[in-house]
Structure 1
Amino acid sequence: MVNHRLWLRPKLPASVNVPTIKRAPTLLLQLLIFTFLLFLAPWIRLRIYDPVIAVEIKLSPIPDCVTWNRTGICPKIHPASSPAKERSGSSCPDYFRWIDEDLRHWRKTGITERTVAGARRTAHSRLTILGGKMYVENFKEAFQSLALFTLWGFAQLMRRYGGKLPDLELMFDCNDRPVVKAEKYAAEGAVPPPLFKYCADNSTFDIVFPYWSFWGWAEVNIKPWSNFLKETKEGMEMLKWEDRAPYAFWKGNPKVSRQRHLLFKCNPTRLNDWNARIYALDWEQEAQRGLNQSNLAKQCTHRYKIYAEGQGWSVSKKYILACNSPTLLIWSRWHDFFTRSLVPQRHHWPVRDSQMCKSIKFAVEWGNNHTTKAKEIGEAGSHFAREALRMENVYDYMFHLLSEYAKLFKYKPKIPSNAIELCSEALACNTDGKWKEFMEESMEKFPSDSPPCTLPPLFDLGPFAQAKMEAVDEVEAWEDEYWRKKDNVH
């Protein structure tokens, strides 16, 4: 069974040294050293330069539960300093530009201890980073393992960039919808509480952050993101886009939103075929059957995939984009941390929610008659999911958001009295089954020996938003003309 509570003892971790071995003066000595290192292969990584051989201590590739269960001590996993290496093509993806937008509400006033405490009302956890260590204070349990894998993501960030993260504290809310209403704080002239969430909309000030499923969603057997992409790529290569069913596909839980409920009206009837194939998925029943019919990596079988939001945004968006089929994106109120950089007609095809079935039918007809362009849209969306959203960039987004957030602090954080030190062992050693399996799969093996990507320069979001709106307007004009001609024929 999964233990969602962290039974930890906050103790100081042991230190890790990073030795360097000089080039051996003789060939024989070099061979002896190399042979010795081979026996240590599971615990070190060897990188050969000229004129030195550098040996860097490797983190345990899996949680060291033997030591943890004996000592309860979080290991020291990051050297105090490490050489910075330039990364080729080091500019961050465009969606990093929204970090500044999400933090602008505190630019003038800064963030005070009282401001952070104001976000406590709905938060599930408080995260504190102090002196290169991370601590967590849990307030309440979240749905399924959302909080658990969110904390796991933070723990992996620490394994990757722990020595580089600034001191800070934050409140995290794992529920679906944002809660910091812009209207309330504008009317009162008050500073909004900085609350970290998975999604927001244009009427809220919640700070969007990468969500738990990047490290896996054990309850529904969705693998960690990197492994999912590998499995999906294999499936796509087996079935070319031209050979896929020439319809739009969606499968999921229809009970969580009105938009999804209406989507089911787009299934074929005796009178109309809207070019959509919509399937209901009862996750509880599916779990009882072994989750054999819900493998997202095996759902790249149709030329078009539909995205419909749930109670808030839906984690399904990145999985749908990755399929290499054009994503028919029904108008969405909510955005996550990367959504705002998706461009209509480039990364996806916009679908009206007001006349959903007609809009889907037109999109499929258009794509089947403009296959070159349709394939380009599918490939661009898939490239975005695979490159802009690769885990290296997800961690860099987390790093930059937290770093920019910490710059706004007007006080020195301290460790809450009820907090416990957070590390991978503290989480994984209290779990088993799929939960532990996914943690081991998504565990960061090494501290990063290169700096995070460089934040792109700020730009005026107004013209960008206008260009996106014009792309949607153009599609809707095509769609209106299509139905005007079709109705005149009948």
Structure 2
Amino acid sequence: MGEHAKVFHKLGVGRLRGLASITALIFLFSFLLITAFLNWMQIPIIQGSPLIHISRNTKKHHERVEVPLNCTHAALQGRKCPQNYPNVFEPVESSTGTCPDYFQWIHHDLQQWKTTGITQDMIERGKSSAHFRLVIVGGNVYVEKYSSPFQSRDLFTKWGILQLLRLYTGKVPDLDLLFFSGDRAKIMKRDYQGPNATLAPPVFRYCGSEEALDIVFPDWTFWGWAEVNIMPWEDTLRAIKKGTERLKWEKRQPYAFWKGNPYVAEDRLDLMKCNLSDKFDWNVRLFHQNWSRATQEGFKGSNLEDQCHYSMMLMIKPEYYDFFSRSLVPLQHYWPIRRKDKCRGLKFAVEWGNKHSRRAQAIGKAGSKFIQELLTMQNVYDYMYHLLNEYSKLLKFKPTKPPKARRICVESLGCPKKGIWREFMEQSIVKSPSNKLPCELPPPYEPQAIRAFLDNKEKMAKRVEKWETGYWNKQNGTRQ
């Protein structure tokens, strides 16, 4: 699928993150598609909120206390933010253990400010690069809006942060951050290098790149992408899982598959050249997603779970990454495709997969397992918690409410909404505080460990390139 603004668009608008996917399950994402080409990644974007049976305190941990979205007139009369939600975090269980390895990238993304810390001046200088500023003081959230991003990205990002505060009530520290909801990087490394360079302002964004300093944050589609009918992550993941179970591996179509809007990125237009034609069959089936028409037709042909007819994921070398994708490994979770000469790379990948069915199936299952087990909504919230907690430690000033900021809460954001926007918010709302602590943040990678990990990923990609070269030399009757 392709779009979702940051995915999925991420798809719709997103960032084709690079998968030209053959995958069965998952990495659709258009979040996950969302990334690679700056328009969307092609990996699954996840969302959801698994918490339900939760206790109010340690004495009555069997008691279930839920506070759903309450938009009755009585609840809102006189104030937009009712105060009936628990305000103390009282877990009855210890941590569930160490967080997944991809949490270690949190330290890497904040490394730029480890020595200097983050000052108010940095925040002020970064305002021109952000869509909004979000400040948390004493558990209350305030937002100062600077401009409007595409569709409702900022709305669902703020919604997601509010859910985090409901999940870990009273545990999220005071902080002051800037957020950019667009696709292209804002804080480039090259602009903050040299003896006379100023200190880079910290700006949060949905994806990052090796050339940028943007702080990577989970994309809004985890709570739903209303404009293209992509449900909150938990519901989406559940539907995708059911979709993959409808068709046995042996019955899946032996082609590479991608569906999305090709007109949002040059890489996508280049990919469309690989489609089936009267002259060539690159073993690729590509479909143009017309979102205007899909909207008019009620998204009948756009459900992600109905597109799980293919196997392992193929990922075109991404230019961008999201918060978890840096830990995906070639030949373990996906099959790498070079950005240049995509058609030949895709054809070889399909030929290889069809010839080595068991190995291709193992890659497909490993990628799916990563998403289903490590990209749960609980882990998404824990990643957000640890990222914001580590970020707050870098602040060299005490956060205060900006003069032009307004307070937001689940009622002020959710109650005015109608239709699918309200539906997705109600589906993804955290109704009760967690009854256990977040997972434990692992220590940062040692520099040599990061280098070794990245070198190994490059080594795996080069191995595939060598196989591909040998394949085409053989097809052309040339010597290797």
In the other structure, the counterpart of 2:175 is: 168
Shift of 1:268: 1.9
In the other structure, the counterpart of 2:67 is: 60
1:104-119 superposed matches below 5 A: 104-119=111-126
- 1:198–1:208: 8 Å Cα contact kept in structure 2? yes
Q: Which amino acid aligns with 2:159?
A: W
- 2:167–2:434: 8 Å Cα contact kept in structure 1? yes
- 1:213–1:225: 8 Å Cα contact kept in structure 2? yes
Residue by residue, what CA displacement relative to the aligned partner does 1:15-72 show, whole Å, maximum 9, x if unpaired? xxxxxxxxxxxxxxxxxxxxxxxxxxxxx9687999x754546232334443443132
CA distance in 2, matches of 1:134, 1:84: 26
SS at match of 1:396: helix
Shift of 1:470: 0.3
- 1:78–1:163: 8 Å Cα contact kept in structure 2? no
Q: Does 1:82 align with 2:93?
A: no
- 2:61–2:92: 8 Å Cα contact kept in structure 1? no
- 1:133–1:162: 8 Å Cα contact kept in structure 2? no
CA distance in 2, matches of 1:104, 1:417: 30
Residue by residue, what CA displacement relative to the aligned partner does 1:410-464 show, whole Å, maximum 9, x if unpaired? 1101011222222111111010000000000011121112111111232221100
Structure 1 unaligned segments of length 5 or more: list them: 1-43, 303-324
In the other structure, the counterpart of 1:486 is: 475
Question: 118, 128, 135: which is aligned to 2:142?
Answer: 135
Question: 370, 387, 396: which is aligned to 2:382?
Answer: 396
1:57-456 superposed matches below 5 A: 58-76=65-83, 77-88=85-96, 90-187=97-194, 188-302=196-310, 325-456=311-442
CA distance in 2, matches of 1:438, 1:64: 15
Q: Does 1:463 align with 2:445?
A: no
- TM-aligned CA distance change 1:67 to 1:109, over 3 Å: farther
CA distance in 1, matches of 2:176, 2:67: 27
Q: Which amino acid aligns with 2:66?
A: L
CA distance in 2, matches of 1:437, 1:202: 37
Bigger shift: residues 173-182 or 413-422:
413-422
SS at match of 2:367: helix
CA distance in 1, matches of 2:116, 2:70: 41
TM-score by length of 2: 0.84
TM-score by length of 1: 0.83
Q: Which amino acid aligns with 2:426?
A: E
Q: Which amino acid aligns with 2:297?
A: R
- What is the RMSD computed on CA atoms of the aligned residues? 2.1
- TM-aligned CA distance change 1:448 to 1:54, over 3 Å: closer
Structure in which a larger fraction of residues adopt helix: 1
Higher-Rg structure is: 1
Once the two structures are aligned, what percentage of the paired residues are identical?
Answer: 45
- TM-aligned CA distance change 1:369 to 1:294, over 3 Å: same
- 2:55–2:435: 8 Å Cα contact kept in structure 1? no
- 1:274–1:357: 8 Å Cα contact kept in structure 2? yes
SS at match of 1:246: coil
- 2:56–2:63: 8 Å Cα contact kept in structure 1? no
CA distance in 2, matches of 1:301, 1:61: 37
Residue by residue, what CA displacement relative to the aligned partner does 1:306-335 show, whole Å, maximum 9, x if unpaired? xxxxxxxxxxxxxxxxxxx31110111111
- TM-aligned CA distance change 1:265 to 1:56, over 3 Å: same
